[in-house]
């Protein structure tokens, strides 16, 4: 299976999670492994691995492992993954534009519900956990607790969604210069595509239900789609 990588997610350092678009079906695929083969930053291109945003990767043999809402999960063997190249910036931007939606509700379906300032899907429900939003009014912010988030003004009222895009972090530290650069480009008129994903289910303190909370796994800007 060949995918174009568009989700590069920060986990507990040095672990990462990735996902991409099946180049035949244009559906999202999340390659997953067992505990014995945890994916880490060693699998990034800069560390001689196969993964980079926009990179075309042959995952080798995969086995579907759907479990709502994470219907995109596929088991794979990391040692089989091979980098085949990278889309040109224009090709990558065109692919994101083709699969994106302007409507947050349409990206992950009706199971995505508003909870205060955020969104989540109840565990065991939903038909998708990955998607791309074409966003017209966004700003990257660090909140009062030092957490990086997108302020999404396309929603009414505004929503705040955590950012897990690995490129905004240096280990556990937010790269504030990268945040400033992204906001500056958006103010200058660059269109934004947000790679949306659902975190693994957990029960938030004070809640009584396991939920998959919405997060931003990647940011793509139209003026330079490979740079944040």
Please say if the pLDDT value at position 186 is more than 90. Answer: yes
What CATH architecture applies to the domain 2-90? Answer: Beta Barrel (2.40)
**Which phi and psi (to 5°) does residue 146 adopt?**
80, 15
Domain ranges of the chain: 2-90, 100-221
Model confidence pLDDT, tens digit, residues 114-171: 999 999 999 999 999 999 999 988 999 999 889 999 999 988 899 999 999 999 999 8
- Provide, for the chain, the percentages of residues in helix, strand and coil under a 3-state DSSP scheme, each rounded to the nearest 5: 20, 45, 40
74-119 pLDDT, tens per residue?
999 999 999 999 999 999 999 999 999 999 989 999 999 999 999 9
Q: Kindly list the distances between the CA atom of residue 100 and the CA atoms of 17, 77, 89, in Å, as whole numbers in the listed order.
A: 21, 29, 16
Q: How confident is the model at residue 195 (pLDDT cuts 50, 70, 90)?
A: very high
Give CA–CA dist 96/139, Å, rounded: 19
Question: Is it the case that residue 36 has pLDDT exceeding 80?
Answer: no
User: What burial class does residue 129 get, using C-beta atoms within 10 Å of its C-beta: 0-12 exposed, 13-18 middle, 19+ buried?
Assistant: buried
């Amino acid at each position: 299976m060949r995918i174009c990588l568009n989700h590069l997610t920060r986990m507990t350092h040095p672990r990462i999670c990735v996902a991409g678009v099946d180049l035949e079906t244009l559906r999202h695929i999340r390659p997953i492994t067992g505990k014995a083969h945890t994916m880490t930053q060693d699998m990034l291109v800069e560390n001689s691995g196969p993964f980079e945003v926009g990179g075309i990767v042959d995952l080798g043999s995969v086995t579907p492992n759907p479990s709502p809402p994470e219907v995109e999960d596929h088991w794979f063997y990391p040692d089989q993954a091979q980098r085949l190249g990278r889309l040109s910036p224009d090709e990558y931007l065109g692919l994101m534009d083709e699969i994106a939606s302007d409507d947050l509700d349409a990206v992950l379906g009706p199971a995505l519900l508003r909870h205060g300032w955020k969104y989540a899907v109840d565990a065991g429900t939903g038909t998708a956990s990955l998607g791309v939003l074409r966003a017209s009014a966004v700003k990257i912010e660090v909140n009062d607790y030092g957490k990086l988030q997108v302020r999404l003004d396309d929603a009414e009222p505004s929503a705040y969604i955590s950012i897990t895009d690995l490129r905004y972090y240096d280990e556990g530290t937010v790269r504030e210069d990268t945040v400033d650069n992204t906001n500056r480009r958006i103010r200058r008129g660059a269109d934004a595509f947000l790679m949306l994903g659902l975190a693994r289910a957990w029960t938030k303190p004070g809640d009584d239900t396991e939920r998959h909370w919405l997060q931003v796994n990647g940011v793509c800007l139209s003026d330079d789609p490979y740079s944040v």
